[in-house]
């Protein structure tokens, strides 16, 4: 695991979690751009063949406010980074 990731928060971690960082034995991608920039997304349970579709992640800080989603998907040539592709209600 990338050493700098050890200081980053994982998407979905509770704000009062004393250890919101990555867990050993899990696989993560870094979210790049948009409202969730810099967070890590745990992709451990997503088969590699399903990852090219990306994910719509619930966020309150996107363009559509509470209940909105931010779309992230793999960046070509950077398998451990998913880029923001836009927001959706």
b/e 22-49 (16+ beta carbons within 10 angstroms → b) = beeeeebbbbbebbbeebbbbbeeeeee
Q: Show Cβ contacts of residue 53 under 8 Å, excluding neighbours closer than 6 positions.
A: 73
Tokens 């034995």 -> residue = 25
Closest CA to 33 of 79, 82, 68, 89: 82
- For residues 86 and 71, the answer to whether their CB atoms sit within 8 Å is yes
pLDDT one digit per residue (tens) for the chain, 89 residues: 566 666 789 999 888 888 899 999 999 999 999 999 999 999 999 998 999 989 999 998 899 989 899 999 999 899 899 999 999 99
pTM: 0.87
């Amino acid at each position: 695991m990338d050493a700098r990731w050890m200081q980053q928060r994982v998407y979905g971690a509770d704000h009062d979690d004393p250890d919101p960082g990555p867990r050993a034995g899990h696989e993560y991608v870094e979210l790049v751009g948009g409202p969730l920039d810099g967070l890590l997304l745990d992709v451990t349970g997503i088969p590699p063949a399903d990852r090219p579709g990306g994910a719509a992640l619930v966020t309150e800080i996107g363009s559509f406010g509470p209940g909105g989603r931010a779309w992230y998907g793999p960046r070509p040539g950077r398998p451990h980074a998913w880029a923001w592709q836009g927001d959706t209600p």
